[in-house]
Every structure is written in C-alpha cells, then in structure tokens.
Amino acid sequence: MAVKVFEDWLNACSGCEISILNIGDALLDILPQLEFVHITPLIDHKLFGQTGEGTPPAMDIPEAVVGIITGGIRNDEYKHELEEVRKKVKFLIALGSCACYGGIPAMANMWKIDEVFEKVYRGCVTTEPSPTPEDPNIPKWTPLCQALDEIVKVDISIPGCPPHPDWIADAITALLEGKTEWKLPERSVCDTCPTPREKKSLTGTVKRPLENLTFNPDEPLDKMRCINEQGFLCLGPVTLAGCAGKTGVPRCIQARTACRGCFGPIRKGAVPMVDMMGAMTSIGLDAKTLVDRRAMMNRYIGAHGMLKPIPAK
Amino acid sequence: MGKTLTIQPVTRIEGHARVVIQLDDAGNVADTKFHVHTSRGFEKFCEGRPAEEMPRIVCHICGICPWAHSSASVKATDAVFGVTPPPAAVKLRRLMQAIAYVSDKILNFYFLAAPDFVIGPDADYSVRNVVGIVKAAPDIAKQVVHMRYLGAQMLESVAGRAIHPTFNVPGGVSKPLTEAERQELLKGARELLEFAKFTMKFAKENVFPKYMDAIKTLGVIKVGYMGTVAPDGSLDFYDGKIRLMRPDGSYDDFAYDEYTDHIAEKVMPWSYQKFPYAKKWGGFSMDLDNPVGIYRSNTLARINVADKMKTPLAQAELVEFRNNFGRPAHYTLLYHYARLIEMLQNAEEAIQLLEDPEITSRDIRVKCEPRAARGVGCVEAPRGTLIHDYETDKDGMIKNVNLIVGTTHNTAAISMSIRQAASMLIKGGKYDQGILNMVEMAIRPYDP
C-alpha cells in the first residue's frame, strides 16, 4: 500500500523539489509507492478547501505518515503550517539546508527586519518608496529566519542545497522498512574529495576567487592540489559530505570550484567557523586575511543563532 | 458583501501565492487579489558580500531557473570588474543556460501545465496531476522523466551541479570543456532536440486545437511585452538589448544600464511582490478595459518582441504562430505554445554551440581586480527578463543591489488575468473546483 506523504515548501526556492524530480528513471517506480496528500508543485490540494470556502488561518492539513518540509520559517503562516503538519504526521523530515539550518535566506538574520524592509521597499533604485506591505492576506515576517527544529521536533534531517536524491530515497526507504531514525554518515567533504593534500598552504594569505584554480583540465581531480592549500577558501574540512550522493565526488569540486558549506556542519552542535579557522591555521593559512569571514563561513547555516545583527560600533 | 473564496496555495506553479476572490451579494465577482506571500530580502543580505561570490549566492533565488540567475549575476559582476570574458567562456555560459532551459520547459509543459489539458480542467484534483499523466500516457511520461534526467546529467557532467551552479565565475567560467565532454553533450543535445520536436508536434495535434475556445478567452488581457533581442532583432536568451513593446506593437529598445529610465516598481499593501511598470507609458492602472503601464514578460512576451527566432526550426514555428495569432499575440494561454517554440530554439542553439570548435578552447577566464563600480547584468530567465544591478566599493565588496526578476514583471499582468478569468467564469454565485482551477489556469502560463 502506498505511504501517505505531505510535502510543502516554506521559505524556499523549489530546488529541493526539483532535485526530487531529477531522480531519473527510478522516479516512476517510486511515485506509485507514495501517495502525496499535498505537494504544491504537483497536486492541486488546497489548504482552505477545494472550493476556497475555508477561513484562514484554519488549514485543512490531511493526516500522513511522512511529512516532508523544505524551506525555513520566515513568517507566522509558515510557522503555523509547520506546527499543524507536525500534529498530523508520524515522521517529519526537514529536507534541504533551509529547513535544517535556515539556508541562504537566513543571511537576512544579520539585520533587523526593519532594516531588510527599509532596503527592499524604500531603498531599491526602481522601487517607489512605499510602506512595507501589510494585509490580512499576507503573513507577517517572524523576527528571525529559523530552521524547523527551532519550532518543532524534527525526526530526520536531510541537508543540502539541494539535497541529493540518493539520500531522500534512502531516508524514505528506511522509514518504509520500519526504522525510526536515519542520518547521513558523519564524514567531511574532504573525506570524499580526491584532491591531494600536503598539509601546507602555498600562499599563507587567503586569495579571493578572482582567478581560476590551478589545474590541468586533461587530468583528473586527484592531480589537482587541495583548494585550501592553493590558498583559496574551501569549506570542505568543516562540511558534511554527501552532496554528490553515496559515491560521487563533491559537486563544487567537480566544477573546479571551492565548497561553500551547503551541507552544513559535520555533526550537530559543531561551529564550522571556529573549526575552519583551526583547519586554516593548521596548514599555515591566515584566517584573518579572509574577507567577509562571518557570512562566508555561515552562508547556509544562519539559523540557530549562527548569524545575528552586528552590534553598532 | 457575498462570499470570500481563498485559493491557497496556487498549485502547479513555483512559488507561494494566495488568490482571494470576493463575491458581491449577487454572487458575481466584486474584487480579486493576487497575494504573494514571501520575500526573502536578497537585496539586503547581499550587501557586504564579495562581488565574485554573487553568482553563487543569488542563483538560490530560484531552484527552477538557477542557471538564469547565475548568468545574469555573472554578467553584472563582469561589468562591475570591467572585464570581458573570452569567447569560449561566453559560449559555455550560453550552452549551460540553453540546456537548463530545455529541462525547464519540459518540466513546465508536462508536469505543471499538461494535467489541465490532458486530464481536463474540471477533472477531480486527485487525478488532475502528473500521476494522472503517468497513468494516462505512460510511454510519454517515461520519456519526459528520462529527458529531465538527461538534461540534469548533461549539466552535471560539466558543472558538477545542475541546481545552484558554481560554474559561472566573473571573467569567464571555472573550467574548460574537453573534447570528450563535447562529444557526449552533442549526443544529449540531439536527443533533446528530437524530444522538443516531438513535444511541439504532440501539442499542435492533441492539445492546442482542442482548447482553442479557452485559448481565445481565458485570462486574456491586452498589455505590453518585454524581452531581449540580439542586434539583428532575433530572440536572444543570454545577451542583447531589452525591448519594451506597447500593446499596439510599437516599441523602445534600451541597453541594460538604461533600465531605470524605463521601469519603475509600485508596492501594494496586499503583496510582498512588487509591481513593475513601464515608466514612459503615462502611469499605472490594472483596469481590465484600459490598462496603463502594464507589460508582460516570459515566453509569449519574448516571441512577441522578437523580430525572428535565432534558429531554423524555431523560426518556422514562429512564422506559423504569427500567421495564426498575429504580432503581438495577446491570448494568455499561448504562453504554453510560445514555450514550445522557445524549447526548440534552445535545443537547436545547444547543438550549434557544441558544433563550434571554439567551445573547447582553454582560454576561458580573465582575471578580475576589485574596484568601485556599478554593473548591470541581464538575461532572459524562463519567466522573463532578469535584471541584476550591483554596486561595489573599492575593495569589490557589494554595497548596493537592485533585482527585478522574471515573475515580478508579471505581477500586475497575473493580477489582471485572475480578475478577467474569475469575472468571466463565476456568475450568480455559481462556482466549483473545476471553475476555480480554470482561474488558476490563467496563472500557470506565467510560470517558468
């Protein structure tokens, strides 16, 4: 029998859902095993009744075995929906780095809400300066962009921006088999990266990626020197592995570009910025020469208080 | 006042929206509103970031069209650093964008739009979806899934990531294309072209003729159009000048950095999404009978503003389209038709680019130096013209950002199409889920 699934995107970009659709030929085998009771991009299930007669905020959220939520919490309606979904599902999966850590939109946590809206509605060159939108039919921003586990209990976290379909299929299969826990193996991106390391930086100071890495395009990655050792910031040492699925080489490295940490910390409670500064020091790379250090090292993980407004000097 | 109908979420689109239809005492439509529920504040949180990081950050605006945002952003950063990328780099950027587009158009047509046309607009929602398509046409569904996978694989084979790419970098791209990769991509691109041809034929035989009445009535509004054209007037997704066409077909062309002379944005209290309008057309009004300042972007807009398509098969289709619907064509559901013409151009263009020997050149990036400057980069994303406008300080750190993205151009037009469809379909208090879905069918054409 098909397993009932409730899926919705909150403060998100839809990349997680596209990642699911990119599973490939296996998608047609998986689809019949899942019965989506709600998934905005694919099924016309409505939260306020199929003929629109419901009264917001009371949402019609069907019961399901698995709830999959992508995106973080940025307004009071997302928060309400998440709390309601939690009551209606047996297992809640936080899918993607926005749901797990706030993601890119949590960079907004470096400012107060008023400062963000001041820019968006009164500080953009083509925008006619106007009051911030406010209406019963649009939700209010919450003070912070939060991860799901700051609001409700999350059973399974599948990070990534986007997460790899291997892990989505793996986690759902585990639930179908009756397991109640699932998590990605605790390995770093470096553990899965083929570039050779000599534990010594070639530069001492951090170079900005204003030029390409040094490599021979005819040679595989195991002939290209470690990116940090070339002097460019790569968050591989402090980032959870898995972006290329169970076996692949880290995706950004495949493109001959550095990791920016989209899978988040290797283990719960780690502070990547501190750990990364240690990793840099250990190869003789001066972390103080990195521009925009705080935002660079917390790009995808600004929830959980990792990014906050800077106190006025 | 009569009943209030709240449609949320608007489904089979990308994004978060609520439509509210207010009926009067007689059960006719008194008012409609299109409420966009989210704003993430990219314009603010990009402040302070190193300019070279921007393509990697702002691609996250959209998970369906990250390649378009990456392209627009990298062009804005090229301009900020004052560099011209080598020809092979531009070709590679164009190539990746073209492949991504074919994938987007397959997604939109088959997963998002087709259930309305293949299963039927008033079928029960439990079957009016991609699962219904899989049951109704399993062979086509299999091919669709395979083609989506192929597109993603092609992008990943070069760029590692199909979603949120890092391959576009200021001054060029991060790695060259090898001859072996070129051969492999060429095979894939030819498959995509065959599928684009199949899709066009399928739609012209099985979809469009059946729905001609709906096409002529649903969501129809008469407004202007925006798109990008090459110097020869052909439709170009990656580079050119922006053409802003009035409802009567007359137009102005302008360079990217002149966009502020032509576009302004209103903010309405009921939506986080802004309402851009053409500044020189005498004001702003969403009145259905007499709209002022409103233009549309996305597929239909582009094929309206272009003098011609860039590639032969797409051009033949445009000629046939124009014979039937004129220029500019105003029927909203024709966005779906225009989407398939664009899919052909992108597939053909991918092949042309891959047959160009220069594409494997090793000269793919020029070095950038931080400086204080302003740069505007634009491309055509699936949903419309992207405008990325960045200003840096002397260290090349971002100090000011303005973004106008594809869907935003269409905020006013979508609002009008909703009003038109709802007023036409809901009379005397009679409505059902099929009718409300038809109102949403007036929104779906504007999706990627």
Say whether both B95 and B170 belong to one domain. yes
Cβ neighbours of residue B205 closer than 8 Å, sequence gap 6 or more: none
Instruction: Measure CA A83 to chain center.
Output: 20
| pLDDT tens figures, B259-301 | 999 999 999 999 999 999 999 999 999 999 999 999 999 999 9
User: Cα–Cα distance between B9 and A64 in angstroms, integer?
Assistant: 19
Please report the pLDDT score of residue B177 as a whole number: 98
Asked if A260 is an interface residue toward chain B (Cβ–Cβ < 8 A), one would say yes
Q: Which residues of A touch B57 (CB under 8 A)?
A: 104, 107, 299
Q: How much is the pLDDT for A172?
A: 84
* pLDDT tens by residue, chain A, 313 residues: 789 999 999 999 999 999 988 877 778 777 778 899 999 999 999 999 999 999 999 999 999 999 999 999 999 999 999 999 999 999 999 999 999 999 999 999 999 999 999 999 999 999 999 999 999 999 999 999 999 999 999 999 999 999 998 898 889 889 888 898 999 999 999 999 999 999 999 999 999 999 999 999 999 999 999 999 999 999 999 999 999 999 899 999 999 999 999 999 999 999 999 999 999 999 999 999 999 999 999 999 999 999 999 876 5
pLDDT digits (tens, 9 = 90+) for B344-395: 999 999 999 999 999 999 999 999 999 999 999 999 999 999 999 999 999 9
Residue B35: which of A25, A135, A208 has the nearest Cβ? A135
Last residue of a domain, one of B351, B366, B381: B366
| B199 and B338 in a common domain | yes
Mapped onto helix, strand or coil, the DSSP state of residue A185 is: coil
pLDDT of B216-246, one tens digit each?
999 999 999 999 999 999 999 999 999 999 9
Please tell me which of the candidates A74, A139, A255 has its beta carbon nearest to residue B159: A255
Distance, in angstroms, between B212 CA and closest chain A CA?
24
pTM reported for the whole predicted model: 0.97
Which of B12, B48, B267 is the closest to A41 by Cβ?
B12
Distance from CA of A146 to the nearest CA of B (A): 12
Residues of B in contact with A298 (CB under 8 A): none
Q: Are B41 and A217 a contacting pair at CB < 8 A?
A: no
The residue extents of the domains of chain A are: 3-176, 185-308
Residues 227-246 of A with CB under 8 A from B: 244
Is the peptide bond between A62 and the residue preceding it cis, with omega within 30 degrees of 0?
A: no
φ, ψ for residue B335, nearest 5 deg: -55, -40
CB pair distance less than 8 Å for B269 and A131: yes
Nearest to B362 among A120, A135, A217 (CB): A217
Based on the domain organization, do B115 and B190 belong to the same domain? yes
Count of CB contacts below 8 A, A vs B? 288
% of chain B at pLDDT higher than 70: 100
Range of the domain at B339: 85-219+333-366
Between B1 and B249, whose confidence is greater? B249
In a domain, B386, yes or no: no
Mean pLDDT of B138-161: 93
DSSP B86-151: -HHHHHHHHHHHHHHHHHHHHIIIIIIIHIIIII-TTS-TTTSSHHHHHHH-HHHHHHHHHHHHHH
**pLDDT value of position A32:** 79
Please say if the pLDDT value at position B448 is more than 70: yes
pLDDT at A6: 97
Question: A22 contacts in B (CB within 8 Å)?
Answer: 148-149, 152, 162-163
| Residue with the two structure tokens 């729905």 | B211
Would the CB atoms of B265 and A12 count as touching at under 8 Å?
no
Residue pair A98/A105 in contact by the 8 Å Cβ criterion: yes
Which chain B residues are closer than 8 Å to A124 by Cβ? Answer: 43, 265, 402-403
Res A313: pLDDT: 55
Closest-CA residue of chain B to A258:
B166
Beta pairing class for A73-75 and A141-146: antiparallel
The pLDDT of residue B249 is 98
Whether the complex's predicted ipTM is more than 0.90 is answered with yes
- With a cut of 70, say whether residue B14 has pLDDT above it: yes
Task: Flag if B131 and A31 touch (Cβ within 8 Å).
Answer: yes
Residue of chain A with shortest Cα separation from B368? A210
Residue B213 and residue B340 in one domain: yes
Comparing CA positions, the residue from B242, B360, B215, B377 lying closest to residue B301 is: B242
For residues A242 and A263, is the Cβ–Cβ distance under 8 A?
Answer: yes
The percentage of residues in chain B with a pLDDT greater than 90, rounded to a whole number, is 94
Listed in sequence order, the DSSP H helices in B121-279 are 130-136, 138-159, 179-206, 212-217, 259-262
Cβ–Cβ gap A44/B368 under 8 Å: no
Residue numbers in B near A128 (CB within 8 A) = 264-267
Structural domain count of chain B = 2
Please tell me the predicted confidence (pLDDT) of residue A24: 79
Residues B116 and B437: beta-carbon distance below 8 Å: yes
Q: Are residue B11 and residue B150 in the same domain, yes or no?
A: no
The answer to the question of residue B196 being in a domain is: yes
Question: Distance (Å, rounded) from C-alpha A165 to C-alpha A168?
Answer: 5
How near does any CA of chain B get to the CA of A258, in Å?
9
Helices and strands, number each (H, E), in chain B: 16, 14
pLDDT above 60: residue B154: yes
For residue B72, name the pLDDT band (cuts at 50, 70, 90): very high
Of A23, A40, A120, the CB nearest to B39: A120
Round to the nearest angstrom and report the end-to-end CA distance of chain B.
36
- Report the DSSP beta bridge partners of residue B380: B385
Confirm whether B131 is domain-assigned. yes
Q: Does domain A3-176 have CATH number 3.40.50.700?
A: yes
Per DSSP, the three-state class of B386 is strand
Distance from CA of A226 to the nearest CA of B (A): 16
